[in-house]
Structure formats: structure tokens, C-alpha cells
Amino acid sequence: MLFTHEVRLLCRRPAELANPLIFFTIVIALFSLAIGPETNLLQTLSPGLVWVAALLSVLLSLDELFRSDFEDGSLEQWVLSSQPLPLLVLTKVLANCSFSGLMLIILSPLLATMLGLPAECLSILLLSLLLGIPVLSLLGAVGAVLTVGLKRGGLLLALLILPLYIPVLIFGSGALWAALIGMPATGYLLWLGSLTAMAVTMTPFAIAAGLKIRVGE
């Protein structure tokens, strides 16, 4: 019920979907234009570029994740609800992730071809993003709930969360780089899968604890 409710709310705010996608597209397009027709150089840089652009796009969408619920008092109702708070926040984050993250994943192969990424690498790109974006969203939600309602919270959010994103960035770009040079990417994908499992299991409790702190202030 909460999942479908959150998806309906997101459908009524298309700007929250469009902004990260537009940002993702602009970053990839500008890099490809700046580097020029050097196909080999674009291919070499493409794993890192795609993942940095995806990371920053997810980060861009996090500042508004809990803001509207904080302003209308919904977060206080969540804390007082008889439903498990970790389950509620997990459902909200996954709804946001499935709404905006899925569109980013669908868009990524088209933009990756602009960087000269071979077609045989696209399956690894899709799988790595499918595993990595939920981790980025869940980790980012921890920072988002701690900074909700604060002035210049977006800057503080970035400072809190970016260090936690480094392992995801390493394994995600590593998987794509391994596929690019013809090496197996299974190890990197398994690490990403492990991070996903850990994030789904542990971060809802951290988000719920942060929510109680913010609501209790």
C-alpha cells in the first residue's frame, strides 16, 4: 500500500524524475564533447564516467527524498505508527529508487554508446547499475533523513554520504572496466550484490534511528 502510494506521489512530481535524468545525460554528453572523437580515450574513461555520473544523479535526487514528508508532518505519523518504522522507510526508499533509478538504468546504455562503450559490455553495465543504485539510494537516505529540514542540507548531505559511496564506485566501475578489457566481471558483481544485501538489511534501521532523532528535535 505504501509503495503504490509513494509511486503515485512521485508520478505527480515529474520534476523529481526528470532532474536526475537530465543531469545524467548532460554530464555524459559534455564529457563526450569535451574529449572529442578520441574513441580509445572515451572507451578508457567510460567506466568511471558512467558511474560518477550515475552516483551524482542519485545524490541530486536525495535532498528531496524526505523533505515533503517532513514539512507536512507525515514523518511524525510514521514514528507514531504501529507499523515497523524500518519497514516504512525501506518501502519509501525502494519506491523512489524503482521510480527514478530504473529510468536511469534504462537510459544508461544509450548514453554509454556515446562514450564508445562496446555493445558486449552493456549487459554488465545494466547489471552493475541494477545492483549498485539501490545501495546508493539506501546509503544516501541515511544522510537525507539526518539533513532534512536543515538550511543548505544538500551540501551537508554530500559531505556525509560521498565517502560511503566510494566502495560502490570502485566495484561498479571495476566491473565495467573488466568487461571492457575482456576479463570476467563476476567478482565485482558479487561484491556489489553483497553490498546490496547489507544495505537492504542494515540501513533501514539507521534511517529509522535518524528519523526519530529529527522528529524528536
Report pLDDT digits (tens) over 2-12: 667 666 766 66
Whole-angstrom distance, CA of residue 85 vs CA of residue 216:
14
Whole-angstrom distance, CA of residue 4 vs CA of residue 136:
22
- Buried/exposed 64-101: b ≥16 CB within 10 Å, e otherwise: bbbbebbeeeebeebeeeeeebbebbbbbbbbbbbbbb
pLDDT, average across residues 151-177: 85
Report pLDDT digits (tens) over 151-160: 666 677 778 8
For the chain, the structural domain boundaries read 2-216
Whole-angstrom distance, CA of residue 179 vs CA of residue 122:
9
Share of the chain above pLDDT 70, in %: 89
Share of the chain above pLDDT 90, in %: 24
Query: What's the whole-number average pLDDT of the chain?
Result: 83
pLDDT, average across residues 107-136: 88
Report pLDDT digits (tens) over 41-91: 788 888 888 899 999 888 888 877 777 777 777 777 888 877 888 888 888
